[in-house]
Structure 1
């Protein structure tokens, strides 16, 4: 029953009115959470897996599998009475066909950074130049003083400035290629230069532990065979017909997969939970604030769909967005129960989110606490679609069951699962299928999606609310200074 979750406790009748004049009860967050049932969200996942299976095993940017995913989500929303838009945007498809690094004839791990120019299939062989680590490693032209980088493969440390800036400085000094050594444990992957940086030389990432061996090498051969193509993609946007449009609650999940697999946890789970929340809420609920459901395209190539959307809005339209709730990977096989660290109480990575994000964190933590689940924090590290909203000072939050980070022994003690293994060992692989979904974690996370949506559809006031009116403009201006 679509929209059944609007019914709270009993039916309210106005005294002396007929049954035809029944007042619609307001949305009850707990009732809506219970209405988003595991069987329903798993049915959406089954359909997304079927779509991938019929389209070369994926639902990625620019493919028939992605178009079919758009049609499925948009069709379900239209059938539920929503006015659905599928705005188109331009993006660039980046693909890696080969990535290899040999150091004095021995192989070493390397990952092409997103949007890296190609070395071509033959690769580039050259001497090595190591830029000495300092307070701005490879970020300034003076870092190259006294160094002949022309025609060399340059090695710099990660940190301080963007990868794009490091590439620009190395290219100006005539480097043949750039390798960035990680400043954290493990390889440097899942990183990019950005489509707008117009990079000129190939750029790869290596583990920090390999930097010393690279620096001592006589020569290296780096092969980063990449491909870029201009593509068009679409978002799916649907908004309730009721509720204030001055305080819109945006609830989003990315709809695309990576080319390597069907993307059932990443991010069919987020899509399924947000879609079922929309269907159970209905297109005309009794809510104080309008709810806008968004399914983003091209997330896997750099948050393009959400970024293009937020940037397309006027200043006034962005101010009308009260908050953004993001849901990406909700059924990881080695699941954790994580909420975005809005107040930076963990002191990990980035600082706190925009004003109001701490209240969103508390709202989700309270939901899980009422179910006997202790949550952990996860950093606003910019790897999902909250990024462009946060960049404009819009408060954000959401839940997450983990990606390729490793579950600690303490987390395994708290939530079960396997310590010293990734939360999702199937991340970005063909094995990201229905078979890998942790149904218990997914059921709880999907219910949390509905709960948080209903809480803020009802009210954005109170200690766990977000700024309103003139204060909203003031705090956002301060955050983005």
Structure 2
């Protein structure tokens, strides 16, 4: 690659010599080298030491990109969701910044199933009158069609009281279940053995005007059904309700109303590469660029996206042992589609060339905790069926090294496959990353470590319109942007601890060895902490069955 000198001029104010720009933290060892060489501004330097790179990656720089994302959302209906003009403008912005910095940028297009709900209503009309609340009493199925239907609910092969065995109801799973069904009625079916999309397709073929799916009824299967039909294609509205409500609706007159867009659209990933001395040991880092349709997505995940842009711009002049590849993923909010498309598009040889993957999905939550994906599973063994490739523990320790040197408390969070690292670990690629919490509630013990408020979500505006430029904790965003810079640079120099490929020590690095001896590690968290740090439990469209 030929690096360009046409980088966008941007003066980044540095702190005092020898100090990082982290709020309320101590300086890294060796940070005295943070003074620009010969007074050069950051964009004119190589930034190939820890002190230089972290000194130039600043909160002001990250916020510059976040303000751009907010402005893009404001100009495009308040959203940056994949398949909308707001996403395309976000991708254009990332490409322009990275190309101006000298990175080689490509766009990887793919088709995906788009869904955006704009309104809904659910009510009982007769024999009694009742109006139900979305989220509490019902949920619209992802990929539901639009429609406004008032008709009689007709039960289809339901089991009330619930079957003794969980996931055994076959209600609506076969066309024969709808023998005798009255066309125009609302099909009342029960969760069970087959996908919701199959139930709705059978109901639609039988002439149903809408579908209400109620939960199966056993312990753990009583709440509102929050599901997905899997893909666009339905022509009737579909909602889910809890067992207690759904099991009483047979024969009642109901109103089901949904207004939504459900169709296939095109979107893309943005991939940027900085060649190193070798091309077969690639250090990858990624963040999803899309928001949910409901809002601008500034914390989720403008924060990770902006931090990566800031690191990339300040790393562009470095000549590194390993190739570095950054990715901004599309359609993450609809079941991790962009990252999955990327990994599955790689040849076996290309997958082998990827040494590791770092994931940054929400790094500035307003009621944050400092969480690292638990690659050594010392606190949270991975759920059954979720692989944790060898070397993932060492990636966790890289982030811990940084937090330890800063004197910052941190914790593990479950490696559960609920963000864009999922496709990478499925392909056997060691992975790790940072997370500051989503909809789970902050625990009492965490307030002493991080500040904030117990009993309140790490991000109270998660997946809502309020996830805007004010929905951030500046200190967390600042600290984690430097942690990202530290980890990328450290591994760009040497991945030996992860995959055995020997490089060279990163200038200014602080590898500490035995993680069990670390002062600031909260492992395991106190018993009162359920889920210790709040696992990343994105709602990517609901259950399929």
- Please tell me the TM-score bracket, short chain as reference: 0.7 to 0.9
Question: Which residue is 2:25 aligned to?
Answer: none
Structure 1 pair 65/300, CA: closer, same or farther in 2 (3 Å)?
same
Match 1:215 to one of 222, 247, 266: 247
Question: Which residue is 1:227 aligned to?
Answer: 261
CA shift at 1:414, angstroms? 2.9
Query: Map of 1:341-352 to 2, 5 A cutoff?
Result: 341-347=374-380, 350=383, 351=386
Separation in 1, partners of 2:151, 2:375: 44
Gaps of 5+ in 2: 1-9, 15-19, 21-29, 35-44, 182-186, 503-545
CA shift at 1:64, angstroms? 2.5
Asked if residue 51 in structure 1 is aligned to residue 72 in structure 2, the reply is yes
TM-score, length basis structure 1: 0.80
Structure 1 pair 25/76, CA: closer, same or farther in 2 (3 Å)?
closer
Question: Which residue is 2:357 aligned to?
Answer: 324
Q: Deviations over 1:375-407 (max 9, x none)?
A: 222223443211222222222111011112222
Separation in 2, partners of 1:139, 1:323: 42
Structure 1 pair 243/192, CA: closer, same or farther in 2 (3 Å)?
farther
Match 1:120 to one of 147, 161, 183: 147
TM-score, length basis structure 2: 0.71
Gaps of 5+ in 1: 12-23, 470-481
Question: Which residue is 1:248 aligned to?
Answer: 282
Question: Which residue is 1:479 aligned to?
Answer: none
Query: Map of 1:169-318 to 2, 5 A cutoff?
Result: 176-180=211-215, 183=220, 189=226, 192-195=228-231, 203-206=238-241, 210-218=242-250, 219=252, 221-282=255-316, 285-318=318-351
Separation in 2, partners of 1:95, 1:123: 23
Question: Which residue is 1:477 aligned to?
Answer: none
CA shift at 1:260, angstroms? 1.9
Match 1:415 to one of 450, 453, 457: 450
Q: Is the 8 A contact 2:106 2:270 kept in 1?
A: yes
Larger Rg: 2
Question: Is the helix fraction higher in 1 or 2?
Answer: 1
CA shift at 1:188, angstroms? 5.6
Q: Secondary structure at the match of 1:436?
A: coil
Q: Deviations over 1:187-212 (max 9, x none)?
A: 665x544339x778765444xxx423
Deviates more, 1:342-351 or 1:135-144: 135-144
Question: Which residue is 2:83 aligned to?
Answer: 62
Q: Is the 8 A contact 1:2 1:80 kept in 2?
A: no
The size of the alignment, in residue pairs, is 441
Q: Is the 8 A contact 1:170 1:178 kept in 2?
A: no
Separation in 1, partners of 2:196, 2:459: 31
Q: Secondary structure at the match of 1:195?
A: coil
Asked if residue 78 in structure 1 is aligned to residue 99 in structure 2, the reply is yes
Separation in 2, partners of 1:44, 1:430: 19
Separation in 2, partners of 1:448, 1:149: 61
Q: Is the 8 A contact 2:31 2:50 kept in 1?
A: no
Note the aligned Cα RMSD (angstroms).
Answer: 3.6
Question: Which residue is 2:167 aligned to?
Answer: 137
Separation in 2, partners of 1:443, 1:26: 18
Structure 1 pair 301/418, CA: closer, same or farther in 2 (3 Å)?
same
Question: Which residue is 2:198 aligned to?
Answer: 168
Match 2:188 to one of 146, 153, 171: 153
Separation in 2, partners of 1:47, 1:254: 16
Structure 1 pair 421/230, CA: closer, same or farther in 2 (3 Å)?
same
CA shift at 1:329, angstroms? 1.2
Separation in 2, partners of 1:193, 1:355: 35
Q: Is the 8 A contact 2:380 2:413 kept in 1?
A: no
CA shift at 1:216, angstroms? 3.5
CA shift at 1:367, angstroms? 1.7
